[in-house]
Structure 1
Amino acid sequence: MKALKTLVASTLIAVTAPLMANPVLDFQVGGFATQSLFTNNPYASSNISFSQNALNVASSYRAGGEGNFFQSPVTAGESVRALFVGNANSVDIFVNDHFDDELKFSFTTNPTGEGKAVIYGDVDANGNRAELGSVVLGSSGADCKDENGDIVLGYVCVWKSESLRGFTGASLIRLTASSGDFYFDNIELGRGSSNVPEPTSIALSLAALGALALSRKRKPQA
């Protein structure tokens, strides 16, 4: 009986594994060097890719990177990284296994920064993608301050969180900086949807296990 219970549990894990969430994109890989996410992609194993201009940059504030941003609390000499989208540019994130339900992320920009995040579905027969949702991005308008409350010129550090909900089959995120530089972090994707098992598949698997259990129960003892 114990072996059968183990088999049931293993089967449920196998058939529902595709329901597990996509990874959180926190970009905390790469030391202090600026890296191309197109060629040096830490999320390739999750079937996520980036446009050619996507850069993973480290903070230069009390550290050795090139990005003019930081996150409090600051640890001197520590590599803190984010996805960089420069002024008047866009970066695409391709989620080839798709995601549903929700997109969450944090960002920082200068006090007058303006941008937009848009999610799209797959390319159709005409080469177009349907827009599934969007959110306008704006700065909090606050100056960047250090741990002592003093204004830090030349850096951005006031982070905001945004989210999009209520969609299915998303495969592209486009992050646009209309005005000012943007830094994005902790991009959370809803669960993947390309390999979600049908309810009938789960039911059939459980039915087969039930039949196996019944046959074992009825088997005469030697």
Structure 2
Amino acid sequence: MSAFAPNDRVLISPRHLAGGGIDRLSDVIGPLIHLFDWQQRHDAATGHIVLDSPDRSVQLDVNSAESGGAWWHITHHDPYWAVEFTRQTPIEAVAAVARSLPQLLGDQRHADGIPLTSRTLTEIAVLNNWTVSPDGSTFASRDEHCTLRHMPEAEVAWSAQHSVHDESDTQWNVSFTRDAPEVLVAQFFTHLSTHTPVERTYRDIPRLVRDMDEALITPVRGAAVNPRVHHVAAQIGRIHSARRR
């Protein structure tokens, strides 16, 4: 029996197991609207949202009514490139890409508060204990449930896949077409692979993940210390136990 009720707020790591966190939709679209003056079109009946950059060169399309396929679409018109995320992609990684878009278009407002990573993909992987293939084209999480692959000659040059035992509620996919700026891939990977936990309602964590040894889930309320400090302490304790074994 779980120690958590369905509505309990919890912290979970690693992030790739956390599920979408779609209740934090405003973390993606809010900064673009309120800080960078992107225009919003919203269909209240379906929940479909479209944001356009001020110069109309980039569009963010959010279609949460889509039963399958991608929920998030980012398209740049000239030159054409696209980024897509399916439903269960952790929203923190989606938001990291979306918040980077204004700087790519030359809008440097709030750049101090939305830093772009200067690390390479390999550096990000090593920092967060992901494995790197000998040719540097594939990065894998320690539990091997999540991979990021680079195929520079393909139309989809970068792709990320995640699944746990082929269960549909744990599967998600991300794609970056060939001309997508690599800094967007780096932003996505930085905010996906970090050890920092993310907050979810317990019921929103994919069902199969909740009892996995690889997933660390700790309470937001009721901890004797700050919830994030408590989670970090649990992470350290888990590492030490694994080393002893």
Q: Which structure: greater strand fraction?
A: 1
TM tier, shorter chain?
Answer: under 0.3
Structure whose CA Rg is larger: 1
Instruction: Give me the TM-score of the superposition, normalised by structure 1.
Output: 0.25
Instruction: Give me the TM-score of the superposition, normalised by structure 2.
Output: 0.24
